[in-house]
Amino acid sequence: MMRPDPIPSPANQFFWDALNRNELQIQQCAQCQTFLHPPRPMCPHCHSLEHNHITVDGKAVLYSWCIPRHPQIPMFEYPLITALVDLSGGVRLLSNLIECQTSELKPGMALEVCFVKTIGGKTIHQFRPLQSDAEGIHD
C-alpha cells in the first residue's frame, strides 16, 4: 500500500527535498547550533533567524510508540506503528516503524531511517530495527 504525498510548507521544504534524495536533514540554528525540529523560522533558544540544514546519519532509538486501531485510514497498512524516535544529536522525530512486529518493540530499541516511496513518487522517512546492510528504498 502506498503512502500519501507530504504537503510541504516554506519552512520545511528543505526536509522533504532532502528525503527525495534519500537524506534525512534537520534544521540547525547557525548561531547557537541547537537542532530544531519541527523546522521554524526563529530559534526558540537564541532568537536567531539564521539556520543551516544538517544531514544526519538516521540512527535512532525508540522513545515511545502507539498502535492506532480505529478508525483505520485506507492508505495505511495495519498494524500501523506510530513512533517517537530520538536521533543522535538530541532531536525527537515522529515517524512510523516498519519491518518489525509489535511484540518486538521496547524502549531504547536501536533503529535506522529508511526511505519509502509515496503514491505520487515522493519519498518519506520511516524507521526500522537497525540492520547491518545499507539503507534502501521500499515500494
| Exposure b/e, 56-84, CB count within 10 A at least 16 = b | bebbbebeebeeeeeeeeeeeeeeebebe
Q: Give the whole-angstrom CA distance, residue 32 versus residue 26.
A: 15
Domains of the chain: 8-56 (no CATH), 57-139 (2.40.50)
User: How confident is the model over 92-125, as pLDDT tens digits?
Assistant: 999 999 999 999 999 999 999 999 999 999 999 9
Q: Residue 132: is its pLDDT beyond 70? A: no
pLDDT at 1: 64
pTM more than 0.75: yes
User: How confident is the model over 4-42, as pLDDT tens digits?
Assistant: 999 999 999 999 999 999 999 999 999 999 999 999 999
